[in-house]
A and B are shown apart, each in its own frame.
Chain A
Amino acid sequence: MRRTLVSAFSLALVLAALTAPAHAGDDPLETLQPGPYAVGFIDWDFGSVELSGVNGPGTINRDHFGRVFYPATVAGEGTPAANGFPFPLIVWAHGRFHQTPFINHNHEQAAYLTEHLASWGFFVASVNLDVVGAFSFPAAIPQRAELIHHTLSAFFAFDPNEVLIDRTRIGVAGHSRGGDGAIQAWLTNPDGHPIHAVATISPTDFDDTSLGAVPYLGLYGSKDGDVNNGWPIKQYDKASGATKAFEYIHGANHFWFTDTIHFSGEGNGDITRAQHHEIARSTMAHFFRSAFGLNNDPDFTELADGPGLAPLTDVIEILPNYSNPTHYVINNVEAFPINPSLNSQGLLSAGSLLTLLDEQGLNNAGQTFYHRTKAVRAEFNAPGPSAPFYLEEVSPFVDPSQWDFLSFRALQKVNGPLNTPGVEQEFTVAVVDAAGEVATVPLTDHGKVVWPATHTGSSFPQKSVLRTTRIPLRAFKTANNLLQLSQIRYIAVVFNQNDAGDLRLDDFVFTD
């Protein structure tokens, strides 16, 4: 019976007309521009604090100092705070560049970002972590988390009438080892600080930690020549329990997310330092505003759906990954034992005219995969009138119309012999309802599967990275008004644009 359905479905797809509605307008994120506030700053030193030992039991004492940026009436050092308080507090944790003259000044190396966040109404405390930067290995990540907590506690200790922070809305953010420390700060949180958002740039993951129920944003460059082992990709995959977004930025490196640091081991980015800064500023400010209820995008979907990232995406390729916990899983390809014929609902997964259909772990650097997930492996090589396709059956007991989007992730494997270098993989996404009505939407209206960015040199392992595409369910209704969204019974990826391909597909969900 199922095979009959697949055959009938195939015929319907061959006959289905493809439509190509005009692309939506591309307005930039509001936060690409500075916010409404002038920015003041003050250097602070809270004296010595006690941290846990790095190389063994016991404790170490380190100086606790940094620089705070805040919304002000006038820009400058120590200027009066602006009206509009109390302001949410974000602790910024810098990365490690343990070399003169940066030692003891690395907390000043993200002023481009901390000032921008302050201009959007955040009180941003950049804590110095060079005080534990001598530790090459072990990497002193727990001690960075402790310093973040000491920072929160120190500012919480001020008279609320003097230091005007919102003690209910706290975020932590960081770069590289500092990002790792920010994640561990959320995980440990010994004083129960209300940390409600975590953001990282190119974080390390020395202790293989995972975020839980806290909104998360991760940024990572394809030309990161320092944390080039894919840890930031895995960190996104591992996070669960809250809305999360991840921007994989073609051509971005590791240290151009600082003000001025340049690392000879990775060389120049393929995009300018200013573009690194634009991406970090706009996405992080939008993320924190979303997480703290300060805009109309509480689930920061604009960081996922493409147009909101423009104009950056006009010149910079960004692969957004996004997941909203409000969803219905069609197939996340995580079932064990592996059975490529069954999806997460225990229903049919099938292919037609594919040369290979399987499931594959994407935690395999030798295969250019740096994820922490499994995916459908779909290969096709069938130029001709009949398009190969991959199909997922949907339970008749679910009503897809209660969600807004069909979402999935996809990649094409770098150097896969069935992929054409430099050429995007395009396909059509189709749905079929219980009455057999078919609606098709071109992938290119809502997403893409790009040829992976690669860079010359051993510092840049080739990476094949997933990208989330979210197709509004209303787009299918627009394509075929007879379609009953509440009765969608099949979804399919129809490979009718490229003659051949080697793709991975993952996380088919209905979601908001």
Chain B
Amino acid sequence: MKRILIALALIAAALATNRPFDDGVQAAPDAGPAIDDVRVAFGEVPLPYVDDKPNRTVTIEGRGFYGTAFGPFVHFEMDDGSVHEALGVVLESGERIVAWPPRGVEGAVTVIVQNPDRVRVTADVSL
């Protein structure tokens, strides 16, 4: 599998809502985890995957990724300002996301990763 490391971005997303904990026990911290140490890589997708998806993946490594009923979300912003949603997103761990970009997402691209609580990071990359 051909793998090209495109960029290394370090974006710390601050979160400080300072809401009190709820009345449950063993509650998780009120603030969601900050996303940190993000790296983005493009690669070819291993088979089998659906035919109508491009054979490329984007691997996003970092810290603090998580999902609820939704998310994390991955979008791609092109130089022309258009934003394209990933065709598929797999949260392999809190440190690693694999996403499928739509066809035509190439060249200078800003990868946007957003947790369910809207904390987001971006990384400028190019193909």
Contacts and interface: CB of A to CB of B under 8 A. Distances in A.
Interface of A: 53, 55-58, 95-100, 102, 133-138, 176-177, 202, 204, 226-227, 254-256, 259-265, 267-269, 272-274
Nearest to A53: B48
Nearest to A56: B50
Given A97-B68, A264-B15, A264-B30, 15 more contacts: A55-B100, A56-B50, A98-B67, A99-B67, A136-B97, A177-B69, A226-B69, A261-B28, A262-B27, A263-B116, A263-B117, A264-B19, A265-B115, A265-B118, A267-B30
| Residue among A56, A133, A202, A254 facing the most chain B CB atoms (10 A cut-off) | A56
24 contacts: A55-B49, A55-B100, A56-B48, A96-B68, A97-B68, A99-B94, A134-B91, A135-B90, A136-B70, A136-B71, A136-B89, A136-B90, A136-B91, A202-B69, A226-B70, A227-B69, A254-B68, A260-B25, A260-B27, A261-B28, A262-B30, A264-B31, A264-B32, A273-B24
B41 interface: no
Nearest to A458: B118
Task: State the 6 A-B residue pairs at the shortest beta-carbon distance, nearest first.
Answer: A265-B117, A99-B66, A56-B50, A136-B89, A98-B67, A264-B32
B80 interface: no
Nearest to A102: B28
A285 B50 CA distance: 42
Given A95-B69, A133-B67, A227-B69, A262 B88 contact: no
| Residue among A133, A204, A262 facing the most chain B CB atoms (10 A cut-off) | A262
B28 A260 contact: yes
A134 B90 contact: yes
Contact of B67 (A56, A96, A262): A96
A227 B70 CA distance: 8
Contacts of B86: 137
B17 interface: yes
Contacts of B66: 97-99
B14 to A, nearest CB: 13
Interface string B89-107: 1111010010010000000
Interface in B2-58: 15, 17, 19-33, 48-51, 53
Contacts of B30: 262, 264, 267
Contacts of B22: 256, 262, 268-269, 272-273
A273 B69 CA distance: 19
A136 to B, nearest CB: 4
Contact of A265 (B32, B53, B100): B32
Contact of B69 (A176, A262, A268): A176
Contacts of A273: 22-24
Given A56-B50, A262-B28, A226 B19 contact: no
Contacts of A53: 48
| Residue among B50, B53, B115 facing the most chain A CB atoms (10 A cut-off) | B50
A55 B33 contact: no
Contact of A267 (B17, B49, B72, B115): B17
Interface in B58-88: 66-73, 86, 88
Contacts of A263: 32, 68, 116-117
| Residue among B24, B25, B26, B69 facing the most chain A CB atoms (10 A cut-off) | B69
Nearest to A275: B23
A53 B48 CA distance: 9
Contact of B19 (A177, A267, A274): A267
Nearest to B70: A226
A56 B57 CA distance: 14
Contacts of A256: 22, 24
Given A98-B91, A263-B117, A204 B67 contact: no
Given A133-B67, A204-B69, A226-B70, A268 B20 contact: yes
Nearest to A272: B23
A255 B91 CA distance: 20
A264 B116 CA distance: 9
Contacts of A226: 68-70, 116
A408 B28 CA distance: 42
Contacts of A133: 67, 91
A161 B30 CA distance: 47
| Residue among A58, A95, A133, A264 facing the most chain B CB atoms (10 A cut-off) | A264
Nearest to A59: B48
A273 B20 CA distance: 13
Contacts of A135: 89-91
Contacts of A272: 22-23
B24 to A, nearest CB: 4
B75 to A, nearest CB: 12
B100 to A, nearest CB: 8
A137 B69 contact: no
Contacts of A274: 23
Contacts of B29: 264
Contacts of A261: 27-28
B71 to A, nearest CB: 6
Contact of B116 (A57, A102, A259, A265): A265
| Residue among A95, A99, A133, A255 facing the most chain B CB atoms (10 A cut-off) | A99
Contacts of B92: 134
B89 to A, nearest CB: 4
Nearest to B92: A134
A265 B100 CA distance: 25
B24 A259 contact: yes
A261 B19 CA distance: 14
